[in-house]
Every structure is written in structure tokens, then in C-alpha cells.
Amino acid sequence: MKAKIEDMYPLSPMQQGLLFHSLLAPGSGIYVPQICLALSGPIESTVLKTAWERALMRHTILRTGFQWEQRDEPFQVVYRESELSWVEQDWSNTQADEQAIKLQNFLAANRSMPFNLHRPPLMRITLIRRTESSHYLILCHHHLIMDGWSAGLLLQETLLDYVRTIQDPDTTRRLPGVQSRYADFIRWLKDQDPVQSKSFWETRLEGIQTHSVIPPNASAHVSRIPEMKETTFSLTEDESLHVRQFTKNHGLTLNNLLLGSLGIVFSRYTDNPEVTLGTTVSGRPPTLPDAMSMIGLLINTIPVRMAVSQNQSILSWLKNIQQDQSSTAPFQHVSLRDIQTWTHQGNPLFDCLFVLESYPVTLQEGTESGLIHLERVTFDEWTHLPLTLLATDGPALQFKAKFQSERLTAKQVDLLLQHIGRVLKAISQGGDQKLEDISMLGDAEHRLMDGWNQTSRTWDPTNQTLLELLNSTRTIEGPAVTSIHENDIFTFQDLHTTADRLAHQLQKTGAGPEDRVAVYMDRCVHLPLALLSIIKSGAAYLPLDPSQPLLRLQSILDASSPSAILVDGTQNLPELEWNAPLIDVRHLDAETQKGSMQSPRFNPENTAYVIYTSGSTGRPKGVINTHGAIVNRLLWMQDQYQLDISDRVLQKTPTGFDVSVWEFFWPMFTGSTLVMAPPEKHRDAEALVEMIRSEKITTVHFVPPMLDAFLEAPGVETCLDLKRIICSGDTLSVTAQKICHEKLPHVALHNLYGPTEAAIDVTAWNCQLEKNPSAVPIGKPIANTTIHLLDRHMKCVPIGIEGELYIGGTGLARAYLNQPGLTAERFLPNPFRKSTNSDVHPHQSETLYRTGDRARYREDGAIEFLGRQDNQIKIRGQRIELAEIDTALKSHPAISQAVSIVSDSEGRNDPQIIAYITLKPGQNESPIMSQPEKVLKVFLKDLLSDAMIPRQMVILDETPLTANGKLDRKALPKPPEQVRPKRVLPRNSTEQIILQIWEEILGKKDFGVMDHFFELGGHSLTATRTATRLRKQFEIKLELRELFENPVLADLANHIDALRIVSQQDVTTDSTHIEVEID
């Protein structure tokens, strides 16, 4: 064997990375480039084959195999000889259209055929006869041996050798015997100063904050061998000419112009002024002799960090990029793994790679001789990244996007390419414009999104205020309000008559338009009476929810200065301090019998109610909602869901939560019956089932956590009178939607969204079972409402891209009570206002409310809620959405509820995810009870990336809820302190051997069998070495991915023991493996 070896030397850093990914996903076809040449002219196949055999001898890299199982560091072996892999096929009897299909099938099969990395050559040549005078020549090779430039050089020189041989078989013009030695490049790399390189990259990437350019999709988890797809986009030849002319006029390279275009697009996609992409560089240093003609893998992948300043001119910004890229030239040889280790704790710096393809394939000598003509060249290659963008310069500039279909959809990628093209065309129009002036969205996208906001609806002009709306039912004889826990009942006539009397008494205290009357009452039959009377008086009602802390209620009273306070004297609620008149709704002033209520004069802009919501400063903020806003909301709801006198609506939402507004007033103006639930029972799922069943409730509202509990309660399937469930206030999970449809197939489920700063809800979605939904949408805007998803510059984001949600239209609140500064901060001038809309509700048409919520448009216009702006975290460099973790946990059959938080209580700048879970009934014997972390980490391994798996799992008897049924994060108990487990020593020979190997490779001691390989400092290269040592030590077939799937030493030992049993049952040898004798 030694006699057959010409040379041995280490791998380049790029080769190390490619070897790692090839071993991690064997047979996936990644990093196997394929070049297909369409040639015309007769070809003598034996002569062409001989030319390829001579090429094999000229370049050492073509006779190179790779070893990683005999040394700790992988190395490459150059053999003196290697047999060319050559295949010929004849398709001349196949029709041209059939040939095209056959070619695509062949290319896919050819690319997926694995190479034996030990045995050269790591390339195969196929010659396909199309006709007597036309052929396909296909070069397929592993990226380990050469880059695209080298492949082009190799094809060019081999075809040149062929042409010269055909012209003169005895020619002396043949190419020299040995032309390039890849070992020279390896030696050059070894001579470079690592200290200087490290200093450069640490300075260049100091403080880098990476942001994924991949939009959130169904899951961030990708299969071991992900499904890859591709799509293309081309500029026209005229547009491409303008782009090239722009680069020429301003001294820019096409590569830097394209990088800048991507920077602009992805800056807007991520809504961040800094973008980091990966790009390939030629890696052919001028100090290396004959570098430009060398065949081998010389390219390298480096990060490109771009600061996108919207106020900067395009030309000056592009020149800055070019200057920055030029400064990296002396340090472009550094491995990406080293750069990431030095600057980003070893975590990935980007998830999108940009490549400007350059393959020097020409056949000038062959064309001039008339022997052979190159019709076209096509290239194909796949990487391990979720998105790779390849640009090819030609008469028409073409982009090809290769993407993982689990992370991106074809429509998303098509839009991305259109945005890149649009930015390129805008740039080529002139460099003096600013970056902010570049429009990325096309007219069609704008029209589509504008269409989703065409929600204009005209209602009956006699119903412009809430009072006008409610008065329409005063002559109905049926029951208006009934109570489950009281004997009282109000008919509509009784309700209005009594409310008129109470309104008269309020007016005598001075209450009228723009005054506020507080309501401090527990749920009872007199509560809706109190609210109706306030509306009749002309004042706005201000709910004081007795379930809230007294100090909070007192602060609300002090800030709002109500003109009167309504109470129920029978309830004995804790006393508050007030300066306003106190009126007991059960004991009206006898004086109110004299005289009558004065019909108030007000308009749709007057205040209907003020509800206080939590403030970020800790100070509650009062939101002023108008008559016009709530009337629009109620009329839309009736138009959408059609209540009638047969319906019975359960009122169970606390008055401090704005859902209670429609619970009170929707049945009150439609003639339906309002059924009052007992106080505090709204959080008892079993009691709710009984109420809904016994009271024949048809309509009920749930916040999603309470819906989950309701659906688990015994007997929920017997709620046969229930027609509709309205959900809002929190994220409705796909799981809850599915269970609701299964257990209550006769019930319509609706998911609504809206902040307190609008009249209850602004979007709505009729829940339907969809195939593999990523989320339950919050729907589309309701009548007379607009929704805008914007970036930080108030620009519309593309479809499918995350933006901040802004609300416009009739439903907006007027302001925060007595907080003009906060009002100005959150209620902003509407840049989308059209003058034609200014004649109705001018304030709302000119204003947008900034919610602080993140969302994106689906392709059908439905909006998906993505969480709060401040609810994203980064762990180990990865952006993490806590809601995704909760969804994964709730997909476990034993788990009912899950909520994840981030804790860094020890101040170590090492945030950890903690999951709180509640189990479904009957799961007391579940293994989760005794070993939650062990059981659930195994379950989550197939659903989430390692960084997203919670460190701690805390089991709760029940999830703490606020008074209105939302999750109460502040009430979550502090997780028990985790004591690092004592070192567990090896308990068998397998664990002992693995421990020794880990100690040697990681250079660490004092760890045990319960420790995690990567938490101990392991990375891709050490993982490759470890897998090699384990394979050799235990004589098993252990794939690299299996170490990633079993990173805990004890788990790995169990896995290896299982593999050893299998290998003993199936004793086979790998006849293709080459053992190299090494001194």
C-alpha cells in the first residue's frame, strides 16, 4: 500500500467543514456539485476518455482520498494512480422532449449516488449521446476535492487536450504531465499567522448580533436529511445591462453590488439595521505561485457583516461595503469554525449563503476548429444551509435559490427573489438616492395588502351611539338578564325602565357626556343594569373589578376622578376611598320617581367606557373608547354571528377585561338572554360545563388557557346547546383548536384579536381544520378597520415576513386618560391615510395605534400572531420564540398546559429556559411525574433544536390565571434550585472507554457519565474525531449524527451497546474501505 501512496497531508479548514457535514448527513447529496455541458459536434469517446485519464494524472487532488478513522486529525492521501469513473449512454433513439425529462431524472440520481470518500477519484464522468453530433458531458464530483473555479478550469483544459489530440494525435502541444499540487496550498495555509487573523476577525465582528433571515415557519427543527427545493429568477437582458453599467460607472464589483442588494432586503426582512450573510471567496492568494490555475478546493466561506443605514446614499454605502470586503482579503483563508469560535461562542453567524458563480468554461480553440461547440453550461450544488442564493452573470443576470422546504415555502422564496430583483433595478437607476427611498414591494403586493384592508361598511345611521343601539330592544317582552346564583330576572322592559330611573339619579349628580361613573360590583343581575343606566345618563362607565388588588383599584379611582360610583350594597366588598357620590343600585333614591331622565346629547366621538389596562411602568393606564368604536364593533359582530332571541349568552368575564363589553351589550341589543355566572366560577372548568349545559348556553367566550381547561373537563361533550365559542386574549393553540373540533363538532370556534386600545377586537378568524397548520391565525380586519404590519421605519413588510402590528380605523380608542405623552407615543399619525376617508370619524382615520405585537401575513391574507416585541430571546446565538416551545410541549399526550420563561437569576449572563407544565387528568402515574426533564428532553429532541429545550421542567397542579382567565406569569413559582449532580462514575466498560476517549479529545477531567458532550466544549471537529475513535474502539458502524443525537455519555453508551449487539448479528465488512499503513 505504501508504494501506491504519493503524498499525505492535513485537510484545509474548508475541507474539514465539508467533511463534517458530509459525515453528518451521508447520502443527502449536499456538497456534490454537478456540471452539465451541452456539446454539439461529433465526439470520439475513447479520445475524450483518455484526455480525462491524463487530467487525473496531472492534478494530485483528483487522486486524493480522505481518512479520518486512523488519526485524531483527518488527513488526505494522494495515490500514484486512480481509475477514472467513466460511463457512456446512448439516448439518440429517444425523442428530444423525452430526453429533457430523462436528463433531469438522471442528474438527480447521479447527484444522490454517494462517493466513497476513502477511495479516489471523488468524481465521475458521464457522456450521453443525444444525436450523432450532440452530447451531454456531465462532471459530478465531491466538493472536498475542488471548487467551482477549479471544476471550470478542469473541464476547459480537458476539452482543450481532447481537441488538440483530435487535430493531431502525435501533437507536442499536449498539456504538461503534472500541473498542480494541492499540497502547496496546504503548506501556504500553515504559514499564515493565526494571531493576526484572530485579532482581525475579533475586531471586525465585535459585538455582532445575528438575526435569522429565515421567516418563522411550521418548525425550526429540520430533518436529518431535509427536503431541498430550488427556484430561479432572472432580470431581463436590458435590466442586467443597466446593472453592469452601474457597477462599471462607479467602480463597483458585481459581487459587492449583489451583496449590498441582499443586505437591504434582509435588513427589511429582519427589521434590523445590521445583517450578516455568508459568502464564498476565491481563496487564491497572490502570494501562492500559480494559484489561479491550481485545481483543488481553495474557496472559503466567510461572514459578511453589513450595517444598513437608511439615511445613507446608495453609492456611498455600496463603496463602504466594497472597502470593507477588500480589507478582509489577507484574512479570507481563516476557517469559518475558527471565526465563529473567536467571535460568537462557536455558534452559527448566518443561515443564508450567497455565491456568485464563476466557472471559466470556454471552448474557443475547439469552436474555431469547428470540431466542438459549447451550447450551454448548467451547474447544480446543494449546501447544508436552509437557504443558498447563487447568482450567475450572463446576458441575463440569474438568481437560483436552493432552500430547505421545511423552513421555507416556494412562494416565500419566489417573493424573496422578486424583492432582490426589485432592489437591484432600483439601485441601477441611480446612486444618489437614499437607502430608505428604495421600494422593495411591487405594485401587485401593495394592491393585495390594500385589498385586505378594504373593510368599509356603512351601518344604519340611526345607530351611531351605543344608547341608540340599546334602546332598540326596550319594547321586547322576553328575558333580558337572568342569574344562575340569584332569583332575580329582568325582562327587557323592566331593564330599561329601571335603568331610566337610575340614569336620572346619575344625571342629578351631574353625570353626563365625558363624565365617568365607576361601577364597583361583583357579577350579579344588577351589573348590566348599572352599565345600561350609565350609558343612558350620557356618561362613560369605568369598571372597578373587585377581583383586582385594592391598591390598584384605589390608584384607578384616584387617576380617573369619577363623578359617581355605583355599588350593590348587598355584596359587602372591601371599601375604597372616594370623593364622589355613592349610589346603591338596589336602593334607588325616591326622588328619581319624580321627573324623568333627560336624553343626553352626544355624538359617536364621546366616551362610552374607560377600561384600565396594565402599564409598562407599573402604573395602570385608562383607555378611552368611544361610542362610534363600540357600535361598529357590536354591529360587525351581529352581522357576522347573527344572535337572535333564542340565544343565551354566558356573562363570565370580569368587567375589567374588555371582552365583558360585548358580553353585556351584544345580547342587550339583539334581544338575546344574558345569563350571569356566579362570581369566581368563571375559572372553574367543571362548574362551567354544568352551567353551559343546565342553562342551555349557546354563546360563550374563553381565553385560550381557560378553553384548554374547559375542553378537559368531564362532560364537555354534553354541551349540546352550545353554538359558538369566541376566543381571544391569548394565543389559541393548534392543539386546542383540534380538540375543540373533535369534542364539540357542532360548535363554531372563532379566534379574535384586539388590544384594549381598540373597541375589543380588530381581527377575526373562523377556525377550520387545516392540513399541518403552523398556527391558528387571528384572521383579517373586521368592518371599518385596517391592519398594517410595519417595520421600524413604518414601511410595509412583505407577505410572510414579521412586522409590528398597527391598527387603524373606526374601532381605535381616542386616547389614554390624562396621559397625553403616552398617547402621543402609541397613537401615531397614519401614513396610509387617504383624504377620501376624512369625512367620517376623522380622528381614527388619521391615527394608527402601535400595539407592540408581532405578526405576519399568510399568503391568503390571514394574519398570524407571533408574540410580543419583547418576548423573543437569544440563547447560544439562536433566536428563540418561547411560544414555539410551549406548542411543542403541549403536543405531548400527557401534557395539558405549558408555559416557558427565561431565567438568569444568578446573573451569570447564561439565560436558561424553564418550562412549567400541568398534566392531563389521570396522568399521576406518568413517568413525567418522577423524571420530567429526562422524559421530556427525549420527546422534545425531535421537535426542537438543542438550544430550545428547557433546562428545567416544573410540574404544577394547575396553571395560575389572572382574574380574566389569562396566564398569570407573575404567579409562577420560583423553580427549585438545581444542584449540579454529583459526578457519576462509569458503571460498565462501555462507559469507561467512552469517558477515556472524551477526556483525551476534550482535554478535560472530572466529569461523569451524565455529562453532555457539547456542554463540555465539544464541537464539530472534536465530534468527528470522537466518532472515529468510537468506531475503531468498538468496531461498530457509528454515524456522526448519532453522537449529536446522543450527546450525554450514558445515553451514548447505551446506544453503542445496542449497535454492538446488531453488529454481532450481522458480521459484514466494508469492502470499499481502505486502511492506510502509517508509520
**Which helix H or strand E contains 38, and what residues bound it?**
strand 34-40
Largest CA distance in the chain: 127
Assign 219 a pLDDT band (cuts: 50, 70, 90).
Answer: very low
Lowest mean pLDDT among 219-223, 232-236, 464-468, 760-764: 219-223
Q: Look at 479-483, 484-488, 613-617 and tell me which has the smallest mean pLDDT.
A: 613-617
Greater confidence (503 vs 901) lies with 503
* pLDDT of 361 above 70: no
- Long-range contacts of range 893-897, CB-CB < 8 Å, 24 or more positions apart? 893/920, 894/919, 894/920, 894/923, 894/926, 894/928, 895/919, 895/920, 895/928, 896/708, 896/709, 896/712, 896/920, 897/705, 897/708, 897/709, 897/956, 897/959
Domain 989-1065, architecture per CATH:
Orthogonal Bundle (1.10)
Residue 456's alpha-carbon distances to 142, 638, 763, 785, 846, in angstroms, are: 60, 16, 14, 8, 15
DSSP state, residue 436: G
- Cell numbers describing residue 552: 390598584
> What is the rounded average pLDDT of the residues 837-865?
78
- 10 Å Cβ neighbour count for 606? 22
- What pLDDT, on a 0 to 100 scale, did the predictor assign at position 1052? 93
pLDDT at 858 over 50: yes
pLDDT class of 254 with cuts at 50, 70, 90: very high
- 562-588 pLDDT, tens digit per residue, is 999 999 999 989 999 988 999 999 887
Residue 938, pLDDT score: 77
How much is the pLDDT for 468? Answer: 92
User: Each residue of 698-712: b (16+ CB within 10 Å) or e?
Assistant: bbbbbbbbbbbbbbb
Is the CB of residue 201 less than 8 Å from the CB of residue 336?
no
pLDDT of residue 873: 61
* Helix, coil or strand: residue 164: helix
3-state secondary structure of 762: coil
- pLDDT at residue 1069 above 50? no
pLDDT in tens, 610-636: 999 875 555 789 999 999 999 999 999
pLDDT at 840: 39
C-alpha grid cell for residue 517?
Answer: 361613573
- Cβ-count burial of 983 within 10 angstroms (0-12 exposed, 13-18 middle, 19+ buried)? exposed
Q: What is the mean pLDDT of residues 291-319?
A: 92
Beta bridge mates, 205: none
Per-range mean pLDDT, top range of 213-227, 791-805, 944-958: 791-805
% of the chain with per-residue pLDDT over 90: 53
Distance CA 144, CA 122 (A): 8
Exposure string of 877-903, with b = 16+ CB inside 10 Å and e = fewer, is bbbbbbbbbbbbbbebebbbbbbbbee
CATH of 2-185, one of 2.60.40.1080, 1.20.1250.20, 3.30.559.10, 3.40.50.300: 3.30.559.10
The domain made up of 206-341+386-451 has a fold known as Chloramphenicol Acetyltransferase (3.30.559)
Q: 311-347 burial string, b = 16+ CB within 10 Å, else e? A: eebbbebbbbbbebbeebeebbbbbbbebbebbbebe
Tell me: the pLDDT tens digits for 987-1008? 999 999 999 999 988 888 889 9
State the Cα–Cα distance between residues 398 and 418, nearest whole angstrom: 12
What is the C-alpha separation between 284 and 290, in angstroms, rounded? 9
**What CA–CA distance (Å, rounded) separates 708 from 729?**
13
Q: What percent of the chain is predicted at pLDDT more than 70? A: 89
Using one digit for the tens of pLDDT, what is the confidence trace for 50-97?
999 999 999 999 999 999 876 768 899 999 999 999 999 999 999 988
What is the model's pLDDT at position 244? 92
pLDDT band at 369 (very low <50, low <70, confident <90, very high): low
Of the listed ranges 209-223, 825-839, 923-937, the one predicted with least confidence: 209-223
Q: Is the pLDDT of residue 179 over 80?
A: no
Q: Binning pLDDT at 50, 70 and 90, where does residue 901 land? A: confident
| CA–CA dist 72, 1000 (Å, integer) | 10
Q: What is the pLDDT of residue 946?
A: 66
Query: What string of DSSP letters covers 896-957?
Result: EEEEEEEE-TT-SS--EEEEEEEEPTT-TTSHHHH-HHHHHHHHHTTTS-GGGS-SEEEEES
User: Which residue would you say has higher pLDDT here, 958 or 677?
Assistant: 677
Tell me how far apart the alpha carbons of residues 398 and 352 are, in angstroms, rounded to a whole number. 18
Averaged over 804-813, what is the pLDDT? 95
Residue 881, pLDDT score: 66
pLDDT at residue 841, as a whole number: 40
Q: Per DSSP, what are the bridge partners of residue 124?
A: 140
Q: What is the pLDDT of residues 184-198, one digit of tens each?
A: 999 999 999 999 999
Q: How far is CA 1027 from CA 397, 945, 1007, 1021, 1035, in A?
A: 44, 21, 19, 10, 11
Burial 104-118 (b: 16+ CB within 10 A, else e): eebbeebbeeebebb
Res. 170: pLDDT tops 80: no
| Comma-separated ranges of CATH 1.10.1200.10 domains in the chain | 989-1065
Encode pLDDT of 390-431 as tens digits.
Answer: 998 888 999 999 998 888 888 889 999 999 999 999 999 887
Which residues are registered as beta bridge partners of 176? none
pLDDT at 351 over 50: yes
1042-1058 average pLDDT score:
89
> Among 30-39, 174-183, 630-639, 830-839, which stretch is predicted with the lowest mean pLDDT?
830-839
Which of 494-498, 672-676, 949-953 is the least confident region? 949-953
**How much is the mean pLDDT over the chain?**
86
CATH 3.30.300.30 domain residues, the chain:
871-971
3-state class of 377 per DSSP? Answer: strand
- Most confident range (mean pLDDT) of 88-102, 207-221, 457-471, 740-754 is 740-754
Q: Which CATH architecture has domain 871-971?
A: 2-Layer Sandwich (3.30)
Task: Report the predicted TM-score, pTM, of the whole model to 2 decimal places.
Answer: 0.79
Residue 1022 pLDDT class (50, 70, 90 cuts)? confident
Tens of pLDDT, residue by residue over 673-731, are 999 999 877 778 899 999 999 999 999 999 988 898 899 899 999 999 999 999 998 88
Kindly give, in sequence order, each residue whose CB lies less than 8 Å from that of residue 798, ignoring residues fewer than 6 positions away.
268, 269, 415, 419, 440, 441, 445
Cis? peptide before 911, omega within 30° of 0: no
